[in-house]
């Protein structure tokens, strides 16, 4: 009996210790390889969005059935862009207006809900979306539209700590899923349209206390352990006068982490204002108003926040071609360590993973007008007549020459994450084929006001489609197959070792494609547009797929003629979960 009691006590202590430890750094590092959970945004901090599961495959995906659906409830049905996090039998999702839900993965029943108390006067650029959470230890973390980071008890939803990282009244906000590395919660910021300054911050995940900060616009000073560290770049090297002080470069999409090189990579948004003539006037000779480090990828040492390297996709950016699109760490078919990104400017870039050196760039959308190509150093060969005109040279000084540019400012690809398949070696890129009338206007900075200096109208360029899911060979840039969609694609993509590619459409379909041919193998109508991010996991020997449905995001707000074309689409807020029952797994 004594031995039984001791054994029982030991088992209890072991369970208590496991619960106290919660999710560890090792768990996060192994996220892609573990089938029973989804612990990171991107299904791995490399952001490949690939699952090794093969139970669900090309032959049996037609047998995928709804398991349960969860409604976010209320009237707050705006764009739902979250990626679920799954741990210890609980699924965590975020919702529009900075909400979070914990859901029982077996039943779809709500365990708890947290609503951030947002103040009046928040200034979200592109809908009141939230793209997901981060989990570590016994806490679940997410950002809010009033520029705060919140840590909640993962079991109860109680607030553990809440930290303000910037002033929402100046235009700062936060919509991305945080990133956890070595016990730090690492975040960016949103608000590039308001003349804010992009920054990456690292905090102690347990306490929320700042460890380091790294502004991404030259001339601003970083901090480390509460003291000034080093300046970002060299003040006025590529920015004229005091414009660097309100230079934009928001790090609004969040970052990726490569454990092999111990490197964080964050993308940076448009420089502010959009009017590139204002940012070029008086620039030092030879820089042509590059405006570092806006429209760039910035590699950061996670230990101290120091910049390791940078790569600027669009110097002297004048079309709102943000450089925030995710950087995916992968190994190519020849064994080379690479980064890949599909930029808003319409080019698919491959960089060397060790040092960020340029490898290649190829167009992944059609009819690009703003550049004639990319040179051997990765710098665009500008088509200067396709730059919006300087209003200072117009007859009335109020409006520069209107030009038609491709792609539109919402990009060849916007925030919606692509996926990589180590099985095929290809990337699966949700893209859009559209253009815009764009012109420049005079503008001066005013705190909390839009700081654009441009006007625009987005227009379709083809009659039969706008959205295009493309399978791209990163070694050659060749498009292996393409799925065309009437409305713009705005959802994330996922691949599986079972040979499947999952995504969703604004028309409400969640779809599974053959990863080699692009054949549509399965679909389900969810009732509202899908702009969320699919995930898959295994439970009790059965494979599950989840994705949220709820139309919104930037297209209805900024889409011009395209927005009018899809104004019939209904909003919503439902998390759909599907499963392949055991008895149907072997059926064809």
Active site residues: 320
Cβ count near 126 (within 10 Å): 21
Residue 206, SS3? Answer: coil
Q: How far is CA 272 from the centre of its chain?
A: 20
Cβ count near 366 (within 10 Å): 14
Which structure tokens are listed for 147? 């520029």
Work out whether strand 574-580 and strand 380-382 pair parallel, antiparallel, or are unpaired.
Answer: unpaired
Q: How far apart are CA 298 and CA 282, in angstroms?
A: 25
Site of tokens 């470069």: 249
Concatenating the DSSP letter of every residue in 551-565 gives --SSHHHH-HHHHHH
Work out whether strand 494-496 and strand 50-51 pair parallel, antiparallel, or are unpaired.
Answer: parallel
Q: How far apart are CA 457 and CA 179, in angstroms?
A: 35
Q: How far apart are CA 553 and CA 467, in angstroms?
A: 15
Closest CA to 254 of 178, 203, 171: 178
CB contact set of 390 (below 8 Å; sequence gap of 6+): 277, 400, 440
Q: How far apart are CA 257 and CA 267, in angstroms?
A: 12
φ, ψ of residue 214 in degrees (nearest 5): -135, 100
φ, ψ of residue 228 in degrees (nearest 5): -60, 140
Q: Are 549 and 527 in contact (CB under 8 A)?
A: yes
Concatenating the DSSP letter of every residue in 413-427 gives S-SS--EE-TTT--E
**How far from 51 is each of 36, 420, 498, 544, CA to CA, in Å?**
11, 10, 9, 11
Cβ count near 117 (within 10 Å): 7
Q: Are 490 and 531 in contact (CB under 8 A)?
A: yes
Cβ count near 203 (within 10 Å): 24
Q: How far apart are CA 286 and CA 386, in angstroms?
A: 21
Q: Are 433 and 465 in contact (CB under 8 A)?
A: yes
């Amino acid at each position: 009996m004594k031995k039984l009691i001791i054994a029982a006590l030991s088992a209890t202590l072991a369970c208590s210790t496991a619960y106290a430890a919660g999710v560890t750094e090792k768990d996060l590092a192994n996220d892609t390889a573990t089938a029973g959970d989804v612990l990171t945004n991107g299904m791995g901090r490399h952001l490949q969005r690939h699952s090794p599961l093969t139970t669900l495959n090309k032959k049996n995906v037609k047998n995928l059935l709804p398991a349960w659906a969860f409604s976010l409830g209320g009237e707050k049905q705006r764009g739902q862009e979250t990626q679920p996090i799954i741990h210890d039998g609980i699924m965590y999702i975020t919702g529009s207006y900075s909400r979070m839900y914990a859901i029982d993965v077996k039943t779809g029943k709500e365990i708890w809900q947290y609503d951030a108390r947002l103040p009046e006067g928040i200034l979200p650029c592109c809908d009141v979306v939230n793209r997901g959470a981060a989990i570590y230890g016994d806490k679940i973390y997410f950002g809010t539209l009033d520029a705060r980071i919140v840590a909640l008890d993962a079991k109860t939803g109680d607030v553990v700590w809440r930290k303000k990282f910037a002033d929402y009244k100046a235009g700062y906000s936060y919509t991305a899923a945080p990133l956890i590395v070595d016990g730090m919660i690492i975040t960016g910021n949103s608000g590039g349209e308001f003349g804010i300054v992009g920054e990456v911050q690292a905090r102690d995940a347990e306490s929320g206390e700042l460890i380091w900060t790294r502004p991404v616009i030259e001339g601003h000073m970083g901090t480390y352990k509460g003291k000034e560290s080093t300046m970002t770049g060299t003040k006025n090297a590529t920015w004229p006068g005091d414009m660097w002080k309100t230079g934009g470069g928001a790090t609004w999409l969040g970052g990726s982490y490569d454990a092999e090189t111990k490197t964080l990579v964050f993308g940076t948004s448009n420089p502010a204002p959009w009017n590139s003539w204002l940012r070029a006037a008086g620039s030092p000779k030879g820089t042509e108003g590059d405006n570092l480090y806006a429209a760039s990828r910035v590699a950061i040492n996670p230990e101290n926040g120091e910049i390791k390297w940078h790569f600027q996709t669009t110097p002297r950016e004048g079309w709102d071609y943000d450089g925030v699109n995710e950087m995916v760490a992968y190994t190519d078919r020849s064994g080379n360590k690479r980064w890949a990104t599909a930029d808003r400017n319409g080019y698919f870039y491959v960089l060397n993973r060790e040092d960020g050196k340029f490898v290649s760039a190829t167009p992944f959308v059609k009819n690009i007008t703003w550049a004639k190509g990319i040179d051997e150093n990765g710098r665009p060969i500008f088509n200067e007549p396709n730059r919006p005109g300087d209003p200072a040279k117009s007859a009335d000084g109020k409006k520069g020459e209107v030009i038609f540019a491709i792609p539109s400012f919402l990009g060849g690809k916007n925030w919606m994450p692509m996926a990589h398949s180590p099985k095929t070696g290809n990337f699966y890129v949700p893209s859009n084929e559209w253009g815009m009338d764009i012109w420049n206007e005079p503008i001066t900075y005013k705190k909390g006001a839009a700081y654009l200096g441009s006007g625009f109208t987005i227009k379709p360029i083809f009659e039969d489609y706008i959205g295009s899911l493309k399978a791209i060979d990163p070694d050659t840039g060749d498009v292996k197959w393409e799925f065309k969609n009437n409305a713009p694609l705005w959802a994330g993509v996922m691949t599986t070792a079972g040979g499947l590619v999952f995504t969703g459409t604004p028309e409400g379909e969640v779809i599974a494609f053959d990863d080699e041919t692009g054949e549509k193998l399965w679909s389900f109508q969810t009732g509202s547009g899908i702009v969320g991010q699919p995930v898959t996991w295994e439970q009790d020997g059965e494979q599950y797929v989840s994705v949220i449905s709820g139309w919104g995001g930037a297209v209805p707000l900024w889409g011009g003629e395209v927005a009018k074309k899809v104004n019939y689409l209904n909003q919503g807020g439902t998390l759909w979960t599907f499963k392949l029952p055991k008895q149907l797994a072997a059926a064809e």
